């Protein structure tokens, strides 16, 4: 058993960290304040190859393993959750379904730009009345000649309305007991992107509600087999959960790094606050939780990379890591005291950004259901 | 067009370092990184090579250890590396470094040599000039920009008040200032590709360099003293005229 990462994974982590600290961190506070989606920085992440890591070289990707993507997401999340979710959703939910289920023509048409990070894609699953119960999808797609006619609504769809969004894949009911996935190119008539949400966190990420009003796309925009939509998104979400766990590890690590520096530098009662066990133990606990979360995450990524069953491992990693991240942000804010409550402090942003980690890509409750089911309950 | 870029692996500046108690040089850990200032030289070399369909060869004299810093520069896109790590070189000063690099570059053959202005660990800042002298090349120092046209290198040399435009025929040596170019980040593909790139490790004997180590350096560091503790600054109470006081101080410090 060897817990060390390869020299190449370590080098890559250093590069992404350097990029994140130089190109992202100095601007995060402003983007958060202005709710600005930083297109130029997302494109720079594309130039760094982050959106193409796990894709085959024939589409311009690096052919890297899933663990490599997890490292990238972790390092971006260590400084900025909005950009980490943009990457996670862009790869895991946007481009990955095209790679997994697309025809040769669909892959050739959409993947090169997505892999290069020149364009972004989203995945529309959640609906106003179908969240955790995604089987209750109400959006309908009906074949009319050689076109799908789509009517319905989707909620909370990441990367769906940026100026570089090329498509959103949505799940829709194509028959009484049948859910399928259909590619909706950006700017299709009848595809309405609602104004961005006002969010507690992830404010620089792009999230919209979507409306489909007699939206027509060619029949060949069906992604994968008709009627396989439910099965497809369950698979997509398994990978997404590992990626979200990696993001949670990054958020917690960011909290630890900020807290450690502050605990050494901030003096009260004549000595650094870190000299008090009350503070030191909080940070020690944070470190323990991060270690555990990271190991669970890398194990899930490793199982996926080995082509082995990883649904339960993904749920376990996502559940534990996201709760560890929320705890870490709460403790970091406490360590920062009054300064932690100020919008300008990074930990206050982390605090607001972290909560949704326990909600997106399956709530903590859904993860517990997945784990309980795997145990035969 | 073959471009030799001098690079150095140094201990990670973010981690504490220690000095050898005898020769006062930095003790080198296994994990070293590419000197940050060398990223500019590598980038300048890559840009000039891309413009001329040329090749970039890294040249480095340092304990090789795990070669992580060299691979960083290869991952940026350099084609190969020559690393001279010879037990005989322990304790060598700037002049020996320049002689070793010159021998390696002469053996390899280069139309253009690029270096940083100084290393971040040693800060001696004379190796490029010595190297130019030993190679018989003009030293085009402190370039904030470099262009190649028809066998001529033209640089903008940074000066305190602006810049000089300087030209020289090739072969020549250029030192790149930090900020002269925007160094690219290595991609994962680049990092994986760097594993396959050749790293030659010739010995001093193979390069025909004799009289190395502290004996060949012609100088030694006899003592190292820590920088004095910073003293408290000047406090100015604002009685409505603090700005004039501050301006006066800034003028005295010659920053405005």
pLDDT reading at B18 higher than 80: yes
- CATH number among 3.60.21.10, 2.40.110.10, 3.40.50.300, 1.20.1250.20, domain A121-227: 2.40.110.10
Instruction: Compute the CA torsion angle A242, A245, A249, A254 (nearest 10 deg).
Output: 120
Q: Which of B190, B191, B197 to mutate to test the interface with A (most CBs of A within 10 A)?
A: B191
> B 195-214 residues with CB below 8 A of A?
195
Domains detected in chain B: 2-217 (3.40.50.620)
B185 vs A8, A18, A53: nearest CB: A18
Question: Does residue B178 sit at the A interface (CB-CB below 8 Å)?
Answer: no
Question: Does residue B186 sit at the A interface (CB-CB below 8 Å)?
Answer: yes
CA-to-CA distance for B106 and B126, rounded, in angstroms? 19
ipTM over 0.85: no
Q: What Rg value do the Cα atoms of chain B yield, rounded?
A: 21
CA-to-CA distance for A93 and A83, rounded, in angstroms? 15
Strand partners, B81: B58, B199
Which pTM was predicted?
Answer: 0.88
Range A156-180 burial, b when 16+ CB lie within 10 A, else e: bbbbbbbebbbbbbbbbbbeeeebb
- By C-alpha distance, the chain B residue nearest A46 is B187
pLDDT digits (tens, 9 = 90+) for B48-76: 999 999 999 999 998 888 898 999 999 99
What pLDDT does residue B169 have? 96
Which uninterrupted H or E stretch holds B56?
strand B55-61
Considering chain B, what is the average pLDDT of its residues? 91
pLDDT reading at B232 higher than 80: no
What pLDDT does residue A54 have? 97
- A:B CB pairs within 8 Å: 35
pLDDT class for B91, splitting at 50, 70, 90? confident
Q: Which CATH architecture has domain A7-119?
A: Orthogonal Bundle (1.10)
Taking contacts as CB-CB distances below 8 angstroms, the residues of chain A near B66 are 7
Taking contacts as CB-CB distances below 8 angstroms, the residues of chain A near B191 are 8, 11-12, 15
Instruction: Please state the φ and ψ torsions of residue A203, each to the nearest 5 degrees.
Output: -70, -25
pLDDT reading at B26 higher than 90: no
pLDDT class for B218, splitting at 50, 70, 90? confident
Task: Answer yes or no: are the C-beta atoms of A147 and A123 closer than 8 Å.
Answer: no
Task: Answer yes or no: are the C-beta atoms of A331 and A284 closer than 8 Å.
Answer: no
Residue A49 to residue B66, Cβ atoms within 8 A:
no
Task: Answer yes or no: are the C-beta atoms of A311 and A238 closer than 8 Å.
Answer: yes
Question: Does residue B185 sit at the A interface (CB-CB below 8 Å)?
Answer: yes
Percent of chain B clearing pLDDT 70 (strictly above): 100
- For residue B22, give the DSSP letter: T
What pLDDT does residue B217 have? 81
CA-to-CA distance for A256 and A26, rounded, in angstroms? 18
What pLDDT does residue A269 have? 94
Residue B191 to residue A49, Cβ atoms within 8 A:
no
Taking contacts as CB-CB distances below 8 angstroms, the residues of chain B near A18 are 185
- Is residue A149 classed exposed, middle or buried when 0-12, 13-18 and 19+ CB atoms within 10 A define those classes? middle
- By C-alpha distance, the chain A residue nearest B67 is A7
Task: Answer yes or no: are the C-beta atoms of A79 and A18 closer than 8 Å.
Answer: no
What pLDDT does residue B31 have? 85
| Enzyme catalytic residues of A | 361
Structural domain spans, chain A: 7-119, 121-227, 230-374
Mean pLDDT, consecutive 10-residue stretches, chain A (377 aa), reads 91 95 96 96 97 97 97 98 98 96 97 98 94 90 97 97 97 94 97 95 97 98 95 92 98 98 96 97 98 98 97 98 98 97 94 97 96 96
Task: Answer yes or no: are the C-beta atoms of A24 and A87 closer than 8 Å.
Answer: no
pLDDT reading at B129 higher than 90: yes
What pLDDT does residue A335 have? 98
Give the CATH H-level superfamily of domain A230-374. Answer: Butyryl-CoA Dehydrogenase, subunit A, domain 3 (1.20.140.10)
What pLDDT does residue B93 have? 85
Range B104-139 burial, b when 16+ CB lie within 10 A, else e: bbeeeebbbbbbbbbbbbbeeeebbbbbbebbebbb
């Amino acid at each position: 058993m060897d817990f060390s990462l390869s020299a190449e994974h370590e080098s890559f982590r250093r590069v992404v960290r350097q990029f994140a600290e130089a190109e992202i961190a100095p601007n995060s506070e402003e983007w958060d304040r202005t709710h600005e989606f930083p297109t130029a920085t997302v494109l720079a992440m594309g130039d760094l190859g982050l959106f193409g890591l796990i894709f085959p070289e024939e589409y311009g990707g690096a052919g890297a393993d899933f663990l490599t993507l997890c490292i990238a997401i972790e390092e971006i999340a260590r400084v900025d959750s909005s950009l980490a979710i943009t990457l996670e959703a862009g790869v895991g939910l946007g481009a990955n379904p095209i790679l997994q289920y697309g025809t040769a023509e669909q892959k050739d048409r959409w993947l090169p730009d997505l892999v290069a990070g020149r364009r972004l894609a989203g995945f529309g699953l959640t609906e106003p009345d179908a969240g955790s119960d995604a089987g209750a999808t109400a959006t309908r797609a009906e074949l009319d000649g050689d076109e799908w006619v789509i009517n319905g609504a989707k909620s909370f769809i990441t990367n769906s309305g940026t100026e570089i969004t090329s498509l959103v894949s949505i799940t829709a009911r194509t028959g009484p007991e049948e859910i399928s996935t259909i590619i909706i190119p950006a700017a299709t008539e009848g595809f309405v992107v609602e104004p961005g949400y006002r969010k507690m966190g992830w404010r620089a990420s792009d999230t919209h509600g979507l409306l489909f009003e007699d939206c027509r796309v060619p029949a060949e925009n069906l992604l994968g087999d008709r009627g396989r939509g439910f099965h497809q998104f369950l698979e997509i979400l398994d990978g997404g959960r590992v990626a979200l766990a990696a993001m949670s590890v990054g958020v917690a690590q960011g909290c630890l790094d900020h807290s450690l520096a502050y605990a050494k530098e901030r003096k009260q009662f004549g000595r650094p606050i870190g000299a008090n066990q009350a503070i030191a133990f909080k940070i020690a606990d944070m470190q323990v939780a991060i270690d555990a979360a990271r190991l669970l995450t890398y194990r899930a990524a490793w199982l996926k990379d080995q082509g082995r069953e990883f649904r339960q491992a993904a749920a376990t990693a996502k559940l534990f890591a996201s709760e560890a991240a929320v705890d870490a942000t709460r403790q970091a804010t406490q360590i920062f005291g009054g300064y932690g409550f100020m919008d300008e402090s990074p930990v206050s942003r982390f605090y607001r950004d972290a909560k949704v980690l326990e909600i997106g890509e399956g709530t903590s409750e859904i993860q517990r259901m997945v784990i309980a089911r795997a145990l035969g309950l | 067009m073959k471009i030799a870029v001098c690079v150095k692996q140094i201990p990670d500046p973010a981690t504490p370092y220690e000095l050898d108690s005898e020769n006062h040089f930095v003790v080198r850990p296994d994990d070293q990184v590419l000197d940050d200032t060398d990223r500019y030289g590598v980038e300048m070399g890559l840009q000039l090579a891309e413009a001329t369909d040329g090749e970039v060869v890294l040249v480095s004299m340092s304990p090789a250890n795990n070669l992580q810093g060299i691979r960083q520069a290869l991952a940026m896109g350099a084609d190969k590396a020559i690393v001279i790590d010879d037990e005989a070189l322990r304790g060598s000063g700037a002049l020996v470094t320049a002689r070793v690099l010159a021998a390696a570059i002469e053996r390899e053959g280069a139309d253009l040599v690029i270096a940083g202005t100084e290393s971040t660990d040693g800060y001696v800042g004379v190796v490029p000039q010595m190297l130019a002298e030993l190679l018989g090349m003009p030293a085009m120092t402190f370039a904030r920009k470099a262009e190649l046209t028809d066998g001529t290198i033209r640089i903008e040399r940074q000066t305190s008040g602006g810049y000089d435009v300087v030209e020289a025929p090739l072969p020549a040596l250029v030192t790149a200032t930090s900020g002269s170019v925007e160094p690219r980040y290595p991609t994962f593909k680049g990092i994986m590709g760097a594993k396959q790139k050749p790293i030659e490790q010739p010995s001093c004997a193979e390069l025909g360099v004799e009289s190395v180590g502290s004996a060949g350096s012609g100088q030694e560091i006899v003592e190292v003293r820590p920088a004095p503790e910073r003293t408290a600054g000047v406090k100015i109470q604002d009685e409505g005229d603090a700005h004039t006081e501050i301006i006066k101080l800034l003028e005295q410090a010659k920053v405005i």
